[in-house]
Structures are given as structure tokens and as C-alpha cells.
Structure 1
Amino acid sequence: MSHTDRTAQLRAFMEPAGIHSFRELSRQTGISEKQLRKLRRGEVYQVRLEVWWQLARGLQVSLIDLFQAFGIPTGASPGQPTQADLDALRQEYQYLQQQLQQQEVQIQQQMKQAALDILEPWMRNWPLAAYRVQQDPNFAASKLLKLVQPVEKLLQAWGVEAIASVGEQVSYDPTQHQLVAGELEPGQPAVVKRVGYRLNDQLLYRAEVVPAR
């Protein structure tokens, strides 16, 4: 039996998914490179249905779109999937999508609960501290510092890192610092007036600085 090369069709699905090589496609979908070679050579009826499902999930497309792109008809013939097969696979695919969505909701809830567990001391004590400050204007602000430790702990758990600290002298770096007064050249001394933050390697907010006197 002659086969039609389907490499172009497969690449057309890979590009929108941000997959740039067949090795990367194999790693992301769990499909062996041998099976992928069968797909590329057009040996589509030698590929198991579960492999098609893995490919559809990895590329985030429907099975029907894959079958159509690879020239698989929906009519019944020996060795080919029937319309009933495709309908069953479509239902299974929709069910798995719902399962993934439910898992995503559960993960979000777990993350919220973990954050609330860390913030519990602050949530329970901060309103009382704020009340005491309102009742006594001379309430020592230093007593409030320990109450913000849970917030700092939560930021650390999320991988948020402060850029310098207030009052610290740094070498001015326009990529990390925002000059809010005066003039500075990169490398000149500056003093931090407001802390900046990074999330891992991503800059969130630049630290505000002024020229050092």
C-alpha cells in the first residue's frame, strides 16, 4: 500500500502549540519517535487509537481535526475507524477535558488554601493591631513588624524576591531601578526609596531610587 507523507500536516499542528521539533513532540506527548515516524510516513492505520488521543491532547486539538488532516475517512472499512468510533472518541475527549478543568480548579483551591494557611497569623492578628492603633495613637509601630512576617513568608513561597531594601545604597541599574528624582548614569551610587520585586527571573517592579548624596 502506498502512503502519503504527512510531515507537513503534523508540523501545521505543532507550530501553534509551540513545538519546534519531533523530539520535543515525542517528549511532550509521550508518543515514541517510532510512532511519530509512522504518522509522518502516512501509515495512519498502523497507529493505535490511544496514540491518536495522546497526540490530540498534546497538540490541544480535536481528534476529528487530526483524522481529517491525516486523510482518515469516517466511513466503515476494514482496519479503519468507523463513525461510531469517532463519536466515542469525541465523547472521551470531552470527558477528559472536563476532568482536566476540574483538576485545574482543584489545584487553584489547593494553592489558595496553602496561601491562607501561611497568612493565618496575619489574618487573625492584624485587625486587632489596627484596632489598637486607632484606640492609641502612641501605639509603638515596631510591634507591628512581626505581624507582616507571614506576608513575607508567602512571597518567599511564591518565589518573589525583593530588589534591595529601603535605604540601601546600590549601583544604579536602569533595568532594575527606577530613578524618581535627579539624574544618574548607570553604575553611579543610588539610594533605594521603595523596594522592587522579581518573580524568579522575571522583573515585577523596579526599585525606586534617588542619587546618593
Structure 2
Amino acid sequence: MNQQSQHLQKLMQQANIPSFKQLIHLAQVSEWQIRQLRRGNIAKMRVENLEKLAKALHIPLTQLIAEFSPSPTDRPTNIDLQQECDRLHQQLDRQQETLKQDFQHESLQIIESWLLQWPTVAIAVQKNPQLPAIRLLPLIKPIEALIEAWGLTAIAAVGEEIAYDPQWHQLMEGNAEIGEIVKVRYLGYCDRDRNLLYRAKVSKIAPPSSL
């Protein structure tokens, strides 16, 4: 085992991390990143991964960079470390801005037809309140496509009758027992990993009136 691996294991022990697999899980980095750190190839690693590892190990980013430089003669001074951290943060900011712009561009492409048509339709509705609502439904298709592109999934459908689960459903009024049949009034959403974003709003179903 080389010196870098031994040093990493020492830091892991101090942070109560029992294995490299656990470090990968805590830092949310790949096995390749850990191998690079153990081999002293820190220069090949991206700043966001270094920050994740430093956070998992409970040490400053500057310390991580200093301690895993290839050799003592190559280790940077405090000034060099600060300059490198500043450079890495600037690089990360640029990457985040690029990702943000790409995300906005892709989203705008999906809803382009809605952006172009909706203002005109809104004015037409104001001038003619009797305009059939069904004629407006096709304009919502781009929004539905955007939601799908983001990986969002609706929790049931409006009007659907489902078993009440407070984890996924928000009762609009009154009380309901878990498993009791309720009706969906407003959609809720979760992401592709089934992480809840908004609970579906539901209401109790009125019992049939007796004659």
C-alpha cells in the first residue's frame, strides 16, 4: 500500500469511515475518483469531487490538496493553495453557469410553441370569455413535455379514487384513515427516484345519501 493510500485511510479513521466503499457512498463520488486520490493524481480530479471528499473527511479543501500532492517538494505553499482554491472555485462557477444556460436552453426549446402562442391566446380569452376551454388544451402539451423531460411523475390523476396515504396525499379538510378511499383534487409530483416534491391534494368521498 502506497503512502497516499495509507494517509487516506488515516483520515478515514479520524472521520469514522470504515471502508473506501463507505467513503464513496458518503462523498457521492465514483470509485475512479478514490483511485486517483490514492495514486496521488489529485490534479486529474474535478473541484466538485475534491470538495465532496473533503466534506466527507471533515477537512478543509486546502488541506486535502496539500496533503495529497505527489511529493513533499511538490506541495504548494499557503499562497499557492489559496490561489488554486480560487481558481478551482472559479472553474466550478463557470461550469455551473454553463449547466444553467444549457438547462434553460433545453427547457425553452421544449416550451417554445407555448411561449409564442400563449400571450396571444390569453388576450383572445379576455376579449371573448365564452371561448371554449377545450380549444386551449393543446397549448398545454409543451408544458406536459417539459415536466416529462424533467423526470417528474404525477401522483395519481385528477378525479382518481385511491387509498389514502398521508406520505403521498394531503387531505384538504377533515380526517381520513390510512387506506380509506379518497378522490384526487390536485396533482402531486415526485421525481424519477420517487422523491416527493408535492403531495397530491385529496378529499374524502361523501357517502351515498339514503332515500
TM-score when normalising by structure 1: 0.70
Q: Which residue of 1 aligns with 2:181?
A: 189
Matches within 5 A, 1:49-198: 50-51=41-42, 54=45, 57=50, 59-60=53-54, 61-63=60-62, 65-66=63-64, 80-81=72-73, 85-86=76-77, 91-198=83-190
User: SS of the residue aligned with 1:193?
Assistant: strand
Structure 1: runs of 5 or more not aligned: 37-46, 73-78
User: SS of the residue aligned with 1:197?
Assistant: strand
Q: What's the offset of the Cα at 1:28?
A: 5.6
Give me the whole-angstrom Cα distance separating, in 1, the residues matched to 2:151 and 2:65.
43
**Superposition misfits of 4+ residues, deviation over 6 angstroms:** 67-70
Q: Which residue of 2 aligns with 1:31?
A: 35
1:202 partner letter: N
CA RMSD of aligned residues (A): 3.4
Give me the whole-angstrom Cα distance separating, in 1, the residues matched to 2:18 and 2:44.
20
Q: Does 1:207 align with 2:200?
A: yes
After superposing the two structures, state which structure 1 stretch, 169-178 or 126-135, moved more: 169-178
1:62 partner letter: L
Q: How many residues were matched structurally?
A: 185
Q: Residue 129 and residue 196 in structure 1: after superposition, are their counterparts in 2 closer, same or farther (change >3 A)?
A: same
Deviations 1:29-58 (A, max 9, x none): 2426xx74xxxxxxxxxx65x447749826
Q: What's the offset of the Cα at 1:182?
A: 3.6
Give me the whole-angstrom Cα distance separating, in 1, the residues matched to 2:61 and 2:175.
57
Q: What's the offset of the Cα at 1:62?
A: 3.4
Structure 2: runs of 5 or more not aligned: 25-29, 55-59, 207-211
The alignment-based identity, stated in percent, is 33
Q: Residue 82 and residue 144 in structure 1: after superposition, are their counterparts in 2 closer, same or farther (change >3 A)?
A: closer
Larger C-alpha radius of gyration, 1 or 2? Answer: 1
TM-score when normalising by structure 2: 0.71
Q: Residue 27 and residue 138 in structure 1: after superposition, are their counterparts in 2 closer, same or farther (change >3 A)?
A: same
